[in-house]
Amino acid sequence: MSWKDWVHITKLDPDRYLDKDAIEIVATSGTDALMLSGTLNVTPENQAELYDLVRDYDMPIVVEPADPCGARFEGIDLVFVPSVLNASHPLWIVGQHQRWVRNYSIDWERVVPEAYIVLNPASSVAKVTGSDCSLSAEAVSAYATVADRYFRFPVVYIEYSGTYGDPDVVKAVSENVSDARIFYGGGINNAERAAEMSAYADTIVVGNAVYEAGIEALKATVRAVR
């Protein structure tokens, strides 16, 4: 299955703990892929520990580094690399990426660029990147259109990280994006929210629910999008 066919991704944070039994339930839940991703306290050591827990399951494993210089390729199927379009500093749009290209060997066949639009001001990613989260649906849609039609990003990621977002915003994006896949992440912790956002997003990303709402909640979100 191509990543473009994924409808459900489970995001696991290297800085948060799940035991082996929980990992097995996640990996066999029907989710399309496991994304190893976090904003704070992600180290090569805890990323490797998490990878060791998930690597033996027959499913795609992808990494989404907060800083592309932390991208890992060994054993990983794909590396999704964010550019935060509404960040306050170009460091998070292209600066880190330029440093990555200058100083590291990159397997471009496994790189998938993501145009992030971060919309929860209380989230770690918003604070780190200084994202302008006070955007109207029209402004978000315009960012998404620039990503899709001008920069040709293959993914437009609407990120509410830790809270449930506005479906009207995601709907507005879906009405204006032509080629990019629309990812939505944030606050999906039950079947109703999964179904609502998957009506507009091509792929939903479920993360915090795994740790806070429990594994059964994750499985409910998978069923909702099937």
Q: So where are the chain's domains?
A: 3-225
Average pLDDT for residues 94-107, to the nearest whole number? 96
Q: What pTM does this model have? A: 0.94
Q: Does the annotation flag 39 for ligand binding?
A: yes
Residues forming beta bridges with residue 12, ordered by sequence position: 36
Calpha distance 60→33 (Å, rounded): 5
pLDDT at res. 18: 86
13 marked ligand binding residue: yes
Helix (H) or strand (E) holding 195: helix 191-198
Using DSSP bridges, classify how beta strands 78-84 and 33-38 pair: parallel, antiparallel or unpaired.
Answer: unpaired
Query: Does 160 show up as a binding residue in the annotation?
Result: yes
208 annotated ligand binder:
yes
pLDDT score of 1? 67
For 173, the 3-state DSSP assignment is helix
Say if CB 134 and CB 163 are below 8 A apart.
Answer: no
188 annotated to bind ligand: no
Token digits of residue 226: 């099937």
Q: Return the residue matching tokens 């449930």.
A: 164
Residue 43 confidence (pLDDT): 79
Q: Which pLDDT tens digit goes with each residue over 20-34? A: 888 999 999 999 999
**Gap between the Cα atoms of 200 and 31, Å rounded:** 18
Beta bridge pairs of residue 33: 9
Least confident of 84-98, 114-128, 209-223: 209-223
150-203 residue pLDDT tens: 999 999 999 999 899 999 999 999 999 999 999 999 999 999 999 999 999 999
Share the mean pLDDT of the chain: 93
Q: Give the whole-number percent of the chain exceeding pLDDT 70.
A: 99
Alpha carbons 56 and 66: distance in angstroms, whole number: 25
Answer whether 217's CB lies under 8 Å from 20's CB: no
Class of the CATH-defined domain 3-225: alpha beta
Give the whole-angstrom CA distance, residue 137 versus residue 176.
Answer: 11
Q: What is the pLDDT of residue 169?
A: 98
Q: What is the pLDDT of residue 163?
A: 95
Q: What is the pLDDT of residue 69?
A: 85
Q: Give the Cα separation of 89 and 70 in Å (integer).
A: 19
**Nearest partner of 92 among 138, 126, 50, judged by Cα:** 126
158 has binding-site annotation: yes
Determine the 3-state secondary structure of 130 from DSSP: coil
Q: Given pLDDT bands bounded at 50, 70 and 90, which one contains residue 15?
A: confident
| Torsion of the alpha carbons at 3, 4, 7 and 9, rounded to the nearest 10 | 30
Mean pLDDT throughout 25-46?
Answer: 86
- Give the pLDDT confidence of 49-87 residue by residue, as tens digits: 889 889 889 999 999 988 888 888 889 999 999 999 999
Counting Cα atoms < 13 Å in the Cβ hemisphere of 158 gives 37
pLDDT at 16 over 90: no
- pLDDT mean over 114-123: 97
Tell me whether residue 61 is annotated as binding: no
73 vs 137: CA distance, rounded Å = 36
Q: Is 178 flagged in the annotation as binding? A: no
**Which alpha helices (H) appear in 28-166, and where do they start and end?**
44-54, 95-103, 124-129, 137-145
Residue 17 marked ligand-binding: no
Q: Any known ligand binding at 11?
A: yes
Average pLDDT over residues 191-216: 93
